[in-house]
């Protein structure tokens, strides 16, 4: 790994930075620095502007005001990376190697070798020898071994790494992009929810990597407790303001709680004084001229106090979603017979057969690459199977939550998405109320969906399911990017819903709350009854 040029060197300088999203400022006049060796956590409620800030710092989006200057190589992992294969053959291996340009170097050496075979002139031999020496000196011949070590740590086996990126699952593609960023050897890492889609082993490996990383790290994650002892500072965003806390994540939580308690007390004293002065001024109005002047002076003092009033930090919005009772379907809502799917190579799965009953909850379990997402896409009608059939039952309406939010269209606002899902059956006022139920209220209805954070996209996709009036839900990692209170609220709402659910998830607590009746093991397609003994395997799968 290429480390920073100098330990404790300043890798990122931010001065007077303001960030605007959908016409509203999510951050105003922020100033901070990151030095080599620092591990800084960026925290705040869903929608506070963490993802938007990382986009600006990475150069992916412009700042509303101020400057952000970074030194050295920058590695940026967005919440929803979608690598298409920047390597010469578009495999996972080639894409990771492209982080240091070794894929192109290998291709150039091969071309020069073929030229020597065709015409072994002194000039061609010299060019080949020079290119090979440069490749060797740069560590090119050891590159593939290092890439495979990183990929294995992230849970990508060698056979999966050799496949085209288009044949990989969403979780695998995310791991490939993360692998490319880590292998590239950046001086500054900006990571937005880097543990999404990772099983326990891969998460442990990544957290160990981040602990020993020599560069500057700014990370947004719901797993900061797992990185607790490595965190040197925390930057907290709330209501457009950034507050810096020194120390570990646990120390930040204690300090933040004390700050919030202090703000509540100061705000209460201020409001009490404002009320007292208002009452006093009101009692003097309409009396003598001197009393009227005093009342006016008191009004001025009240206005001054109101301008300087302490704002109480907003806690995470606790959403209160409710999934409406589904239309009644037939006894069997899905019948799947002998499904087979491959992507130009060996089949991902063969001869998968099962059915789903009315009101049943089925959990789909398997390692990354076992075909869970591919199966869900086939059930949803997004992807075609190579062989086999999927037959919906009588009066069945299927709603699909895609883990990569493929159904959310940048450039369209939230209300447009809700209208599309409702297909004209629901008025705009009701649709805006549904958005509010998921914490997407007010002017956010008219915000470009491409500017949403991962958590907000998750809430929008779930709100679309609600207004779609479905009786079968296909849920592929529906709690990714959600804060803990939102995960709990969504789990409670779905656990009470009487419709049928087919679920893929790494979230042990969420799966436990859903209490599935049966489990489908992929890629074998084996069916079994659910047991809570399987919970310990959920995070590993």
Over its length of 541 residues, how does the chain's per-residue pLDDT go in tens digits? Answer: 444 445 568 899 999 999 998 778 889 999 999 999 999 999 888 778 899 999 999 999 999 999 999 998 899 988 877 666 555 567 888 888 888 877 777 778 778 878 878 888 888 888 878 887 877 777 777 888 888 999 889 888 778 888 888 778 777 888 898 999 998 888 999 999 888 777 778 888 888 888 889 999 999 987 777 778 788 899 999 888 999 999 888 888 887 777 777 767 777 777 877 788 788 878 887 777 777 778 788 788 878 777 766 555 555 556 788 888 899 999 999 999 999 998 777 788 999 999 999 999 999 999 877 889 899 999 999 999 999 999 999 999 999 998 878 888 989 999 999 999 887 778 889 899 999 888 888 788 899 898 888 888 999 999 999 888 899 999 999 988 887 788 889 999 999 999 999 999 988 899 999 999 999 999 999 999 999 888 888 876 6
CA dist list (Å): 510 to 73, 182, 351, 437, 507: 38, 30, 29, 20, 5
Sign of CA dihedral 253, 259, 265, 268: negative
Pairing status of strand 233-238 against strand 216-220: unpaired
Judge whether 142 and 61 are in contact, CB under 8 Å.
no
CA 98, CA 110: separation in Å to the nearest integer? 16
CATH code of 332-538, in short, is 3.40.50.300
Q: Phi, psi at residue 364, to the nearest 5°?
A: -100, 120
Judge whether 277 and 302 are in contact, CB under 8 Å.
yes
CA 73, CA 172: separation in Å to the nearest integer? 25
Closest CA relative to residue 76, chosen from 62, 61, 57: 57
CA 278, CA 247: separation in Å to the nearest integer? 43
Give the global pTM. Answer: 0.71
Tell the burial category of 120 from Cβ atoms under 10 Å away from its Cβ (0-12, 13-18, 19+).
exposed
Judged by DSSP in three states, 165 sits in helix
CA 403, CA 171: separation in Å to the nearest integer? 9
Which helix (DSSP H) or strand (DSSP E) does residue 389 occupy?
Answer: strand 387-392
Tokens of 372: 């869970």
Burial 468-501 (b: 16+ CB within 10 A, else e): bbbbbbbbbbbbbbbbebbbbbbbebbeebebbb
CA 117, CA 112: separation in Å to the nearest integer? 9
């Amino acid at each position: 790994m290429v480390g920073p040029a100098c330990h404790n060197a300043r890798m990122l300088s931010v001065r007077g930075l303001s960030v605007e999203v959908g016409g509203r400022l999510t951050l105003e006049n922020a100033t901070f620095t990151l030095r080599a060796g620092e591990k800084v956590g960026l925290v705040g409620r869903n929608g506070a502007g963490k993802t938007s800030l990382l986009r600006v710092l990475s150069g992916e989006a412009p700042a509303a005001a101020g400057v952000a200057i970074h030194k050295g190589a920058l590695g940026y992992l967005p919440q929803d990376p979608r690598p298409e294969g920047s390597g010469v053959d578009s495999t996972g291996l080639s894409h990771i190697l492209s982080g240091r340009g070794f894929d192109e170097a290998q291709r150039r050496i091969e071309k020069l070798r073929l030229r020597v075979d065709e015409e072994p002139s002194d000039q061609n031999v010299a060019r080949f020898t020079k290119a090979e020496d440069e490749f060797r000196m740069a560590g090119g011949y050891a590159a593939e071994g290092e890439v495979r070590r990183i990929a294995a740590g992230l849970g990508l086996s060698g056979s999966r790494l050799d496949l085209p990126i288009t044949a990989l699952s969403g979780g695998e593609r995310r791991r490939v992009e993360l692998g490319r960023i880590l292998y590239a050897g950046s001086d500054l890492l900006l990571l937005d929810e880097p543990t999404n889609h990772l099983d326990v082993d891969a998460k442990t490996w990544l957290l160990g990597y981040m602990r020993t990383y020599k560069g500057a790290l700014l990370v947004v994650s719901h797993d900061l407790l797992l990185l607790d002892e490595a965190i040197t500072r925390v930057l907290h965003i709330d209501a457009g303001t950034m507050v810096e806390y020194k120390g570990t994540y646990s120390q930040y939580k204690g300090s933040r709680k004390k700050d919030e308690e202090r703000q509540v007390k100061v705000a209460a004293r201020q409001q009490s004084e404002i009320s007292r002065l208002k009452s006093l001024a009101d009692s003097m109005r309409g009396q003598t001229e001197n009393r009227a002047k005093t009342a006016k002076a008191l009004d001025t003092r009240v206005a001054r106090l109101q301008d300087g009033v302490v704002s109480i930090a907003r806690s995470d919005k606790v959403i209160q979603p409710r999934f409406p009772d589904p239309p009644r379907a037939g006894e069997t809502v899905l019948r799947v017979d002998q499904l087979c799917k491959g992507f130009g190579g060996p089949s991902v799965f063969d001869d998968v057969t099962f059915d789903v009953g009315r009101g049943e909850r089925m959990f789909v379990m398997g390692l990354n690459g076992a075909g869970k997402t591919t199966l869900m896409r086939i059930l949803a009608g997004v992807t075609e199977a190579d062989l086999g059939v999927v037959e919906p039952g009588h009066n069945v309406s299927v709603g699909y939550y895609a883990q990569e939010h493929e159904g959310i269209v940048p450039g369209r606002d939230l209300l447009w998405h809700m209208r599309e899902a409702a297909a004209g059956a629901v008025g705009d006022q009701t649709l805006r109320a549904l958005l509010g139920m998921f914490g997407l209220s007010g002017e956010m209805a008219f915000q470009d969906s491409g500017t949403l954070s991962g958590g907000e996209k998750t809430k929008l996709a779930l709100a679309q399911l609600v207004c779609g009036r479905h009786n079968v839900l296909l849920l592929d990692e529906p709690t990714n990017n959600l804060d803990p209170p939102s995960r709990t609220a969504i789990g409670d709402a779905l656990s009470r819903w009487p419709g049928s659910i087919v679920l893929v998830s790494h979230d042990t607590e969420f799966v436990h709350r859903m209490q599935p009746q049966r489990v489908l093991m992929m890629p074998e397609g084996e069916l079994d009854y659910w047991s809570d003994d399987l919970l310990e395997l959920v995070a590993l799968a």
